[in-house]
Amino acid sequence: MSDNEIRRRPGGRAARVRKAVLDAAVEALVEGGTTRFSIADVAQRAGVNETSVYRRWRTRENLLVDTMLTASDQHIPVPDTGSVRGDLRAFATLVATYLADPLGAALARAAVLTVDDPETAEARERFWRTRIELAAVMIERGIARGELRPTTDPRVTLEALIAPLHSRVLMTRTPLPDDLPHALADLVLDGVAAPEKGL
């Protein structure tokens, strides 16, 4: 099942069931992380049959990815401000706000937990890969407008932008200063900006 397939949003009762399951899945992730995450628990919390969950998501890992992607999409949409500097500043601010929220911090911890199960590890990698691919459009637009070097690597650039935010929240547990997102965006852009014409 592809990421697009597991993220379809049908209408009517199907949409209500999907919302109930994803809300329950977020609750389960916040409480128990990826290790204790199970379709049986999510179905019970959502008040639906396990078969309904399996029919829509097929595997625990698909549900895990869909849950984390849906939460991220809702709280961290990819901005389009008209400039790469504006985009990266806005994006870093959204990430910082998300991580400062208890729900966002809990889901972020779930997304980086070390796990022994290969399928769970693959689901986590798929989540990060999909998020980076979605956000990469900001870098691609910057390259197209001539704001960034043509050789700029979108993944490396985005990782350099958001890794310090995750590090503070998940590793050192220190508060995120209000000016940190803009400072990080400017720091990253100093490294990948295209040279000014005429210099």
Q: Is residue 198 part of a domain?
A: no
Judge whether residue 191 has pLDDT over 50: yes
pLDDT of residue 165: 94
Burial of 191 (0-12, 13-18, 19+ CB in 10 A): exposed
pTM, to two decimals:
0.79
* 13 and 93 inside one domain: no
* 31 and 93 inside one domain: no
Domain boundary among 13, 41, 66: 66
* 113 and 32 inside one domain: no
Q: Is residue 30 part of a domain?
A: yes
Domain boundary among 25, 43, 66: 66
Judge whether residue 5 has pLDDT over 70: no
pLDDT of residue 142: 96
- Tell me which H or E stretch contains 118: helix 118-144
When pLDDT is averaged across residues 123-139 and rounded to a whole number, the result is 90
Domain CATH number, residue 109: 1.10.357.10
**Backbone conformation region of residue 11, classed left if phi is above 0, alpha if psi is from -120 to 50, else beta:** beta
Token pair of 123 as six digits: 């689901």
pLDDT of residue 116: 64
Of the two residues 109 and 58, the one the predictor is more confident about is 58
Task: Find the domain containing 138 and state its range.
Answer: 76-192
At 151-190, the pLDDT tens digits run: 999 999 999 999 999 998 888 888 889 999 999 999 999 9
Domain boundary among 66, 92, 115: 66
Counting the structural domains of the chain, the total is 2
Q: Is residue 60 part of a domain?
A: yes
* 135 and 45 inside one domain: no
Q: Is residue 199 part of a domain?
A: no
Judge whether residue 196 has pLDDT over 80: no
pLDDT of residue 113: 64
